[in-house]
Amino acid sequence: MHVQRIQPQPTPVPPPDFASATDTAERILVVEGVGKRFGGLVALSDVSLSVGRGSITGVIGPNGSGKSTLFNIIAGTLRPDRGRVFLNGHDTTRASPAQICRNGVGRTFQISRLFGEMTVLENLVAVAHGASDAEAVERALGLLDFLEITGLRDKWGTELSYGQRKLVEIARALMLRPTVMLLDEPFAGINPRLQNRIVDHLEALRQRGLTLFFIDHEMRIVLEICDTIHVLAQGRVIAEGDAAAIRSDPKVQDAYF
Amino acid sequence: MKSLVIIVVSAALAAVIPFVGSEYALSFTVQLFVFVALAYSWNLIGGYAGYTHFGQVAFFGVGAYTGALMMDAGFHWLLAAGAAGLSGALLALPLGGAMLRVKGPFFAIGMFGMARVCESFALGFDGITQGGTGLYLTPVTDLKPLYFVLWAIAFGMVVLTWKLDNSRLGIQLLAIREDETAADALGIRTTRLKIGTFVASAIAPAAVGSLYATYLSFIDPATAFAPMTELTTIAMVLLGGMGTTFGPLVGAVVMSVVNELLWSRFPEIYLALVGAVILAVVLFMPRGIVSFAMRRAWWWVPAARSSLRRLASRPAPSRSPKEAH
Amino acid sequence: MPVFELLIAGILLGGLYALMACGLNLVFGVMRIINFAHGDLLAVGALTTVSIVTGLHLPFYVAIVVVPLLTAALGLAMQVLVLRRLADGPMIMSLLATFALSTILVNLSILIWGGGYRGLPGVLGGSVHLLGLDVALSRLVSFLVAMAVTLLVWWFLQSTRFGRAIRSVSQAPELAVINGISIDAVRNVTFALGAAMAGLAGVLLAPTFASDPQLGARFGIKAFAVIIVGGMGSYPGAMAAALLLGVLEVFGGYWFGQVIGSAMLFLVMLVVLLVRPRGLLGMGVRA
């Protein structure tokens, strides 16, 4: 059961030129016409996509396609030059990462950002906003159990292996009781066994109604678990659809295979 | 409860000194309390929140002057100390709002600059402060009440830190220290926490500054803003262990003894030696004595942040794995 | 109000700040630490100059050559013996180490030179007539030498192979080796260069200002305000801010007295932090 901790704000009046923003019940994340340049370099030229509530949606693309830029714009660490982002029905284009987080969005980081000189339990409990100590610990233990990492409870952040960090980061983001999880390359650099474990956990989270949005290069997993896939190349979306559609799309074949 | 035992025993020991100890023991413990209060305050912002800085003496000095001017105007020294504590908080609020926008060396050295600004104000506004001549105060006849007030502040800071160490607030401060960007992205209200901690860390130094002026019945810019105060405080926290409950206490005791042994005999190289102590700790034991002992799990060392662990180890039949989301 | 005189005096003072601040900024760019002992190298430079001129009775220009070499050696020793070993650890530890080194340096200076002020009477005495003003020769010479060296170092950074290596390390420290120059070599040279600039600033201020071992906390610390105002890591920013703050300090001193005038630099720094945290020309500190 998700408890809304944010003051429910009035749903923004949908912009007239963007009819699909009305059905925010269906689309939990909407990116509309987002562009971003760094100096002379165009990272994103004109990207629009939407993520259905309760779906697993992935963005893939070769290096330099603008994936990370897009992710950072959604997570609020970068501001787009133009276009808008709606999360949970709120315009979060200019919101800070902290505001986005309080809108029910949990995130993990591409390079682990665990709090090193704190134990795993402390890493989790630190972000249980609004809960009492006992509730926070309870929730943390529940999540460690769910992700099958109870044994790491009293380990220090710095002691963990690369793969363990990824799992703890997922647990920490779940402590926020998000409605959307943004995962920045969750499968990069870990062994296939752990990849499969994470896949299982993500599937289980989706079963509970969570929306998952991630970027990654791992074609195999993305095609396996995503309901919808967006393929990014040279700063624009060149294809979108389910795994079968992506596999057979000639433009993707050109860009990727 | 090892922590409680340590706190109560050391507090009780300190409380009986004026009745059994000599003049010398009394003056030694007064110095010790002053430094315990300073070290614990610095530990809040420098050790827990990770905003190490070299300007705490600004609050000590401003408090000393606020208190001295109040006493000069005829107020009781206790009231003066209260007003001094308030002046520390009032100074820290705008200063924190500006300075905490930068971190690392910029915050640390910027605060050092701020302390120098306060010092030059104390020198420059000589119509009020008598400049370099200093302010002479009527000596307090009985030092015992002063002693107990200092004791209470030092004791209060230890208890406060112990509470903080066992609370989520303390963990959130550590999260800021470890990775402020991530903490912010995960919804921790970093700005508010930082400024709040900074203000909290300014109150006791300012109050203690006023009490120290009362103790000396004199204050001048060189005493109020002494680099030696700053340096010794930092050495204490670093030596004992930054961001720990008992580190500053251990550090304060060790450094006070070192101070007594060296200051009287080798005053000319004392500060260089304190510098060498800091350098040695940084190079060879950066986590300090207490953290070192905690990692070795020595029996007399209480574990850090133990309350969460106790909560976690408690059998909880109601817990269900399906509670995750 | 003698606006023109004050303006000239401010610019002349700003030249010294530029030399100090650019050295500090250079080290920050490459090492990502602020050397707290930078100002104390300046004090050592000034006091050594006094000893060379009044103790050894050697001419002033000898100090201009010898003292920067001495402080460069001191700086290099600090880097090799202490800071290099802390380079991979938390930045706070390097900072505390420079704080400790500063204390050691100050107190050793007190042992060597005593705590009192020392001046250099007679060196570069007299004044020259310039733009209708009488300008003290010592101030004019120190300004010209300081600006010349600051610009020379800038040229070195822009135009030589090693200079470019220094700049690329400060922009992308993760690229460990640049055209065969190791990052360690870059760090050592930069640190020594920064220390030499601090030492030279010490030499140049010795004829004008009274020097003592606490000079670092009083005077050297201003370089820090300069680079915050100018923008961390920006060489032109530091130069511009140095001149600006020099002028501000002189005017502040004229209006409110010497003591408050010096404090003004830090008040300006506070305002800059509040209004424009990345400084006038800086790349930002918050990242």
Give the separation between CA B196 and CA B51, rounded to whole angstroms: 12
CA distances from B299 to B285, B295, C26 (A): 20, 11, 48
Both tokens of A243, joined, read 């795994």
Q: Domain A27-256 falls in which CATH fold?
A: Rossmann fold (3.40.50)
CA distances from B318 to A46, A135, A141, A174, B313 (A): 50, 12, 12, 20, 14
> Tens of pLDDT along C37-74?
999 999 999 999 999 988 888 888 888 899 999 999 99
Host domain of residue B185: 2-309
Give the separation between CA B147 and CA B157, rounded to whole angstroms: 16
The one-digit pLDDT tens for each residue of chain B (325 residues) are 677 787 788 778 777 777 777 778 888 888 999 999 999 999 999 999 999 999 999 999 999 999 999 999 989 999 999 999 999 999 999 999 888 988 788 888 889 888 988 998 898 888 888 887 888 988 888 888 898 999 999 999 999 999 999 888 999 999 999 999 899 889 899 999 999 999 999 999 999 999 999 999 999 998 999 888 998 899 899 999 888 888 899 999 998 888 888 877 777 788 888 889 889 988 988 888 887 777 777 766 677 777 777 777 776 544 444 444 4
Does residue B324 lie in a domain region?
Answer: no
Host domain of residue C100: 3-216
DSSP chain A: -----SPPPPPPPPPTT-GGGG-TTTEEEEEEEEEEEETTEEEEEEEEEEEETT-EEEEE--TTSSHHHHHHHHHTSS--SEEEEEETTEE-TT--HHHHHHTTEEE--SS----TTSBHHHHHHTT-TT--HHHHHHHHHHHHHHTT-GGGTTSBGGGS-HHHHHHHHHHHHHTT--SEEEEESTTTTS-HHHHHHHHHHHHHHHHTT-EEEEE-S-HHHHHHH-SEEEEEETTEEEEEE-HHHHHH-HHHHHHH-
Contact between A77 and B185 using a beta-carbon 8 Å cutoff: yes
| Nearest residue, CB atoms, A125 vs list B171, B185, B320 | B171
Percent of all residues in chain B with a pLDDT value above 90, rounded to a whole number: 43
Contact between A142 and B183 using a beta-carbon 8 Å cutoff: no
DSSP A38-106: ETTEEEEEEEEEEEETT-EEEEE--TTSSHHHHHHHHHTSS--SEEEEEETTEE-TT--HHHHHHTTEE
- Chain B positions touching A140 (Cβ under 8 A) are 312
Q: How many domains does chain C have?
A: 1
Contact between A136 and B168 using a beta-carbon 8 Å cutoff: yes
Does residue C30 lie in a domain region?
Answer: yes
Q: What pLDDT is recorded for position C176?
A: 52
∠ at Cα B200 (B199, B203), nearest 5°? 90
Both tokens of C63, joined, read 């100090």
Q: How many domains does chain B have?
A: 1
What are phi and psi for residue B212, nearest 5 degrees?
Answer: -70, -40
Say whether C282 sits in a helix, a strand or coil: coil
Torsion angle, CA of C272/C274/C277/C280, rounded to 10 degrees? -30
Which residue in chain B is spatially nearest to C97 when comparing CA positions?
A: B279
Mean pLDDT, chain B, whole residue set: 86
Averaged over C215-240, what is the pLDDT? 84
Residue C133 near residue C4 (C-beta atoms within 8 A): yes
Does residue B189 lie in a domain region?
Answer: yes
Contact between A118 and B168 using a beta-carbon 8 Å cutoff: no
| Nearest residue, CB atoms, B272 vs list C103, C224, C273 | C103
Note the pTM of the prediction, 2 decimals: 0.85
CA distances from C10 to B264, C3, C24 (A): 44, 10, 21
State ipTM.
Answer: 0.82
Q: Angle at which helices C3-31 and C161-171 pack, to 10 degrees?
A: 80
Give the separation between CA B136 and CA B213, rounded to whole angstroms: 9
Q: B56 at the A interface (CB within 8 A)?
A: no
Percent of all residues in chain C with a pLDDT value above 70, rounded to a whole number: 94
Q: A209 at the B interface (CB within 8 A)?
A: yes
Chains that touch A (3 or more CB pairs under 8 A): B
> Tens of pLDDT along A14-44?
444 444 444 556 788 999 999 988 877 888 8
Does residue B315 lie in a domain region?
Answer: no
Say whether C177 sits in a helix, a strand or coil: strand
> Tens of pLDDT along B282-306?
898 888 888 777 777 776 667 777 7
DSSP C99-154: HHHHHHHHHHHHHHH-SS-B--TTTT-SEEEETTEEEEHHHHHHHHHHHHHHHHHH
> Tens of pLDDT along A230-247?
988 888 888 888 888 888
Does residue C207 lie in a domain region?
Answer: yes
Which residue in chain B is spatially nearest to C32 when comparing CA positions?
A: B105
Total count of residues recorded for chain A:
257
Does residue C250 lie in a domain region?
Answer: no
Q: What pLDDT is recorded for position B88?
A: 96
What is the CATH number for B297? 1.10.3470
Which one of B164, B168, B176, B295 would you mutate to disrupt binding with A, by most A Cβ within 10 Å of its Cβ? B168
Q: What pLDDT is recorded for position B304?
A: 72
Q: Which residues contact A152 (CB under 8 A, 6 or more apart)?
A: A120, A144, A160, A164, A168
Q: A17 at the B interface (CB within 8 A)?
A: no
Which one of B107, B119, B120 would you mutate to disrupt binding with C, by most C Cβ within 10 Å of its Cβ? B120
